[in-house]
Amino acid sequence: MLLIRVKKIVMDSKSAFVEAFRARTKTAALRVIRLYQQLPKTGEAEVIGKQLLRSATSVAANYRAACRGRSGAEWYAKLCICVEEADETQLWLELLGDSEIFPKSKLESLEQEYLEIVSILATARKSYSGK
């Protein structure tokens, strides 16, 4: 009986983390959408902005798909995509600031958020044992 309770607590904790992280990636994607809406209407801002929009929304969508994965291998594959897309999102944010298309000071918290998202996803990916 005790073993079952302990396992349920662990599962509840894992489930809570999964739901919280799903919400976090969605919120981050919404922040990127709002940023995109504020970008100047120039050619380079549009190109980088669309790439940023695609990669950020891909993180949220693929994490959601990973949570619904039918196997460990499917979960791992989706997680790998999430790591790549989150890292790409960081690149586009850096380019927006470094090119002075958008003020770096207004990008800092979003850059930090995607740095943390990459770190969490990469750690989760490393934990996969292939079983």
21 within some domain: no
24 within some domain: no
129 within some domain: yes
38 within some domain: no
CATH number assigned to the domain comprising residue 109: 1.20.1440.60
The token pair at 32 is 């990127």
Contact predicate 121/83, CB 8 Å: yes
30 within some domain: no
110 within some domain: yes
How does pLDDT run across 19-32, given as a tens digit for each residue? 999 999 999 999 99
Q: Is the dihedral of CA 74, 78, 84, 86 positive or negative?
A: negative
Q: Which positions of the chain have pLDDT values less than 70? A: 1-12, 129-131
**pTM for this model (two decimals):** 0.86
Contact predicate 86/121, CB 8 Å: yes
Q: What is the pLDDT of residue 129?
A: 63
Domain count, the chain: 1
The token pair at 119 is 């770190």
Give Dmax (Cα) for the chain: 64
Q: Which domain holds residue 125?
A: 46-131
Q: What is the pLDDT of residue 5?
A: 42
34 within some domain: no
